[in-house]
Structure 1
Amino acid sequence: MRIILGDKMIAALRVRGRTGVKRDIQETMSMLNLTRINHMVLIHTNPSYDGMLKKAKDYITWGDVDAETLSAIIAKRGRLPGDAKVTDEYVKDNTDYSSIEDLAKAIVEGEAKVEDAGIKPVFRLHPPRKGYESTKKSFKEGGSLGKRENINELVTKMI
């Protein structure tokens, strides 16, 4: 039985810290599992998540992620309970997929979830090489906040 979870897979990244955040926005980011700066989560699109992303737009950035970038994230920064790294052997033994690339492709297409594979839902990333453009302006104004087209480039800089 094949379950389609959502149209697109979105990577959401927390760009700004905790200081001065209103309580309702802080609670929204907690529901998204974005509790610290440079943390990333994967979200299947639906209207409730879209509203949560728009509410927290002044503190996070998000965009559509592709399978190649997602497989690099899972291989390099994906963690299992006990802080063990995710390997091809683990994916082969514990899921229906033969490699991390196959799992990433299934996640992007909406056939699987990260949590179903036993991987922690939050990816802890490094700050981006060469830094953020600006953490106070939206992406349209030349900054780092809000919806962006090139989330894959930013995440690649942070792996």
Structure 2
Amino acid sequence: MFVAIRLRGTRGIKQGIADAMTMLNLHRKFFCSLVKNDQSSKGMLVKVKDYVTWGEASEESIRILLETKAEKDPRDNKKIKKFFRLHPPKGGFRARGIKAPYGQKGDLGYRGEKINDLLKRMSL
């Protein structure tokens, strides 16, 4: 299962990218959602790679996320919302921030298992 976190805002986004963000439940900056590991989800994540970071989360990170950030749906008390609101990362972003890919000392795009470190810093 992937965890996707939106790092950039809505200004100047093309309609196709905005639609993919909506399907991923990433409506605002610093929203996080759990995404299935299938071809259609991977395609959407690759399409929004310039606005989102994602990776494979450990079971411990998902458990902490559900315990600390899960909100109940006001329409149905038995369900939780499909997204999580996070804080900006404690200690800030990497050297080039949210304007460069992860491989070039930025924070955007695929980061693999390193998403767990970012989740811990953002869920405090």
Q: Quick check: TM above 0.5?
A: yes
Specify the SS of the correspondent of 2:80.
coil
CA–CA separation in structure 1 for the residues paired with 2:72 and 2:111: 29
Match of 1:140 among 89, 94, 103: 103
* 1:122 to 2:83 alignment: yes
Q: Which residue number corresponds to residue 17 of structure 1?
A: 9
Structure ranking higher in strand proportion:
2
Specify the SS of the correspondent of 1:35.
coil
**How far 1:19 moved relative to its partner?**
0.8
Unaligned runs of 5+ in 1: 1-8, 84-89, 91-116
Q: Which residue number corresponds to residue 51 of structure 2?
A: 59
Cα deviation, 1:57-114, whole Å, max 9, x if unaligned, reads: 000000000111111111110111239xxxxxx9xxxxxxxxxxxxxxxxxxxxxxxx
Q: Which residue number corresponds to residue 82 of structure 1?
A: 74
User: What number of residue pairs does the alignment pair up?
Assistant: 119
CA–CA separation in structure 2 for the residues paired with 1:32 and 1:70: 17
Normalised to the residue count of structure 1, the TM-score between the two structures is 0.72
Normalised to the residue count of structure 2, the TM-score between the two structures is 0.91
Larger of the two Rg values belongs to structure: 1
Q: Match for 1:61: what amino acid? A: T
CA–CA separation in structure 2 for the residues paired with 1:82 and 1:126: 22
Unaligned runs of 5+ in 2: none
Percent identical across equivalent pairs? 38
CA–CA separation in structure 1 for the residues paired with 2:54 and 2:115: 7
**How far 1:138 moved relative to its partner?**
0.2
Aligned-CA RMSD value: 1.6
CA–CA separation in structure 2 for the residues paired with 1:15 and 1:69: 19
CA–CA separation in structure 2 for the residues paired with 1:44 and 1:24: 20
CA–CA separation in structure 2 for the residues paired with 1:23 and 1:44: 23
Q: Match for 1:138: what amino acid? A: P
Runs of 4+ in structure 1 over 2 Å off: none
Q: Match for 1:153: what amino acid? A: D
Cα deviation, 1:18-77, whole Å, max 9, x if unaligned, reads: 111111111111111101000000011111111100000000000000111111111110
